[in-house]
Chain A
Amino acid sequence: MQTNKLLTLIIKDFRLEWRNKFALGGIMLYLVSTVFVTYLAFGGVITMQAWNALFWLIMLFAAINANLKAFVQENESRQLYYYTLASAREVIGAKIAYNALLMTVLGLAGWLIFVAFMGNPVKDLLVFLLNMWLGVVGFACILTLISAIAAKAKNNFTLMAVLGFPLVLPLLLLVIRVSDAAVAGTPASIVAPDVLLTVLLISMAVLLSMLLFPYIWRE
């Protein structure tokens, strides 16, 4: 694996994103409208737990939307061309890295929009934001391989959701638990094992993606 190839691939993804601004804009619009719908539905009065649950649900759907693009937006012949330039591991590595960066941006944007409408009950902001970052990066790491699989099918959004949901659930439960603690202001040392487990889960997903992707990229 070569770093400069990896970087080139990531930069290529950024350029693509920039040229098709409507795709990113669509997800932003999705974020704003879902948050607005929840705002209207709850009438602005919301418990801490519901705040947390809604935030993560919205992030989950945004993640599935955003990550699906990874392999769907480029047609097969162009992907074939990439494979002549870089190895399969470089391709998936770059995609994961790019998706993680994209999700970081989306996560922050989503959080800002959410706070603007629903208020900010978070007591321990640092733990909350770190955990949120870990969570959205984890979504990207798990869903990128799923996106590679789903992109091969015709009904790819349905497939992405069906395959992705049960697999991100362990991660989702972990980050929601930590997030709950951060919202309530529980000392960080109590949730440290959960954070460690999240990191473990993410690294395992990345490792498996790297190992498994070479088998399917040619299909």
Chain B
Amino acid sequence: MVLLLKNWWKILGIILLIYVLAGGLLFEVPELPVLRQSIRNIYFHVGMWFGMIFILCIGVFFSLRYLAHANKVDDLKALAAVKTGLLFGILGLLTGMLWAKFTWGVFWLNDPKLNGAVVGVLIYLAYMVLRSSFDDREKRAKLAAVYNVFAFVLFFVFIMILPRTAASSIHPGLDGNPAIAFGDLAPEMRKIFYPALLAWFIMTYWLYRMLYRTSAIEEKIKEIKENQNFY
């Protein structure tokens, strides 16, 4: 029972995700030209992208906290968040490419929003490269935190402001937030879309917690081993 109470949000996440998977594939959707049945991808593609942004915000929060307190727990948390963000960013890219193939006819084309997505993945892959270039734990943590904050701000300028100044974009949402704005979505789709967002938020958070805890345990084991060798 205690376990149930402690983990209620994970159970909620699983139930929601099952609902989204079943409802997303089975429920009625409006039949629109070009989009047709592929609109169902909105529950997954948009949800994953939002999950990524959510977890990257958490990551930058812990990077800032690391800079303020130099507590290595915060560094591990930031790393776990970036890893989760990377995974969901790549998933968002893949689902987007699939969607593009069915609606635009190609997997990829030159568009400000699509470029922003790739740059985001590149930025966070670079973050991983940066981390692997240093052996010293504190040095690595500090430099990674500084890079994360710097990159996060520039990345958000890139995906939030730049596409809106572009002359044209094939991707929806040139003048606002696609799908989130209330009038954008048919009422029967909102029933799945909003739970889907919550489900993806929970999934990203859950995965981030697991990554953080495994890395914390690994750290601990390493520490114990180092101490054994020392004495």
Contact = CB atoms under 8 A, between A and B. Distances in A.
Interface string B137-180: 01100110111011101100110011001000000000000000
Given A165-B122, A212-B146, A170 B165 contact: no
B15 interface: no
A142 B154 contact: yes
A208 interface: yes
Interface string A137-149: 0000010011001
A112 interface: no
Interface of B: 67, 112, 115, 119, 122-123, 126, 129-130, 133-134, 138-139, 142-143, 145-147, 149-151, 153-154, 157-158, 161-162, 165
B165 A149 contact: no
Contacts of A145: 146, 150
B93 to A, nearest CB: 14
A76 to B, nearest CB: 12
A127 interface: no
B158 A170 contact: yes
B115 A173 contact: yes
A153 interface: yes
A169 interface: yes
B149 A208 contact: yes
A219 B136 CA distance: 10
A174 interface: yes
B154 A201 contact: yes
B126 A216 contact: no
Contacts of B139: 152, 219
Interface in A183-217: 193-194, 197, 200-201, 204-205, 208-209, 212-213, 215-216
Report the 4 A-B pairs with minimum CB-CB distance, sorted nearest first. Answer: A166-B122, A170-B158, A153-B133, A166-B123
Contacts of A200: 157
A197 B162 contact: yes
Interface residues of A, number: 32
Contact of A170 (B133, B142, B149, B162): B162
30 contacts: A142-B154, A149-B143, A149-B147, A152-B134, A159-B129, A159-B133, A162-B129, A162-B130, A163-B126, A163-B130, A163-B147, A165-B122, A165-B126, A167-B151, A167-B154, A170-B119, A170-B158, A193-B165, A197-B161, A204-B154, A205-B154, A208-B149, A208-B150, A209-B150, A212-B67, A212-B150, A215-B145, A216-B143, A216-B146, A219-B143
A13 B14 CA distance: 59
Nearest to A169: B119
Contacts of A159: 129-130, 133
A169 B121 CA distance: 13
Contact of B165 (A142, A155, A194): A194
Contacts of A173: 112, 115, 162
Contacts of B150: 145-146, 167, 205, 208-209, 212
